[in-house]
């Protein structure tokens, strides 16, 4: 029976394995005689590469402004880089996602060196805690926020200037020593 029906692979869902990047995409409807100067639409998209970013742009623009890829064009697709990638910042992310029971809005906070890293954390977190697929998550807004605006205890616990990360047990890597020995290792200092 399967030989009569060709296999169809639907590539509509966004899937990613690595880190997401931030893209700024501008597009518009193709100019016509009725509308010689159509409106320009600019969108901030988080995607693993520019191909997926353009696909997500058409997905959102079709829902919001009734412009299809067939009668539209992308004028600019540029990858955005973080201005200060060595400083840890607090990021707030507003999103909506489709679960098995309905559509939900959500606010989440993350600490990362870039907004793309924070959104990547968000996608992983949503997949782990809420079983949300990447294609069903829509990032509404992602912004850097100051420490006094943070709401979640998971974020505010790192705002202590005297924070310490003790290393109570460490295992020494002893090269040129036997792997199995009769003495127990000393792991504390």
- What is the number of other CB atoms lying within 10 angstroms of the CB of residue 58? 17
pLDDT of residue 7: 38
- pLDDT tens figures, 89-130: 999 999 999 999 999 999 999 999 999 999 999 999 999 999
CB 50 within 8 A of CB 23: yes
- pLDDT tens figures, 143-170: 999 999 999 999 999 999 999 988 888 8
Q: 128-132 long-range contacts, Cβ below 8 Å, gap at least 24?
A: 130/97, 130/99, 131/99, 131/100, 132/97, 132/98, 132/99
- pLDDT tens figures, 45-61: 999 999 999 999 999 99
How far is the C-alpha of 155 from the C-alpha of 88, rounded, in Å? Answer: 12
User: 3-class SS at 127?
Assistant: helix
How far is the C-alpha of 68 from the C-alpha of 40, rounded, in Å? Answer: 14
How far is the C-alpha of 150 from the C-alpha of 158, rounded, in Å? Answer: 11
């Amino acid at each position: 029976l399967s030989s009569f029906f060709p296999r169809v692979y639907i590539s509509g869902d966004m899937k990613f394995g690595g880190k997401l990047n931030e893209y700024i995409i501008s597009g518009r409807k193709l100019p016509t005689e009725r509308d010689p100067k159509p409106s320009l639409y600019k969108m901030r998209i988080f995607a693993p590469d520019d191909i997926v970013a353009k696909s997500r742009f058409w997905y959102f623009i079709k829902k919001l402004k009734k412009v299809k890829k067939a009668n539209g064009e992308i004028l600019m697709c540029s990858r955005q880089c973080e201005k200060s990638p060595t400083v840890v910042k607090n990021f707030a992310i507003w999103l909506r996602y489709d679960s098995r029971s309905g559509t939900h809005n959500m606010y989440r906070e993350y600490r990362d060196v870039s907004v793309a890293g924070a959104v990547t954390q968000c996608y992983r977190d949503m997949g782990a805690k809420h079983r949300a697929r990447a294609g069903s998550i829509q990032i509404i807004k992602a912004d850097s926020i100051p420490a006094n605006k943070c709401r979640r205890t998971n974020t505010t616990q790192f705002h202590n200037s005297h924070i310490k990360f003790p290393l109570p047990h460490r295992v020494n890597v002893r090269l040129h020593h036997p792997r199995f020995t009769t003495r127990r290792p000393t792991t504390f200092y």
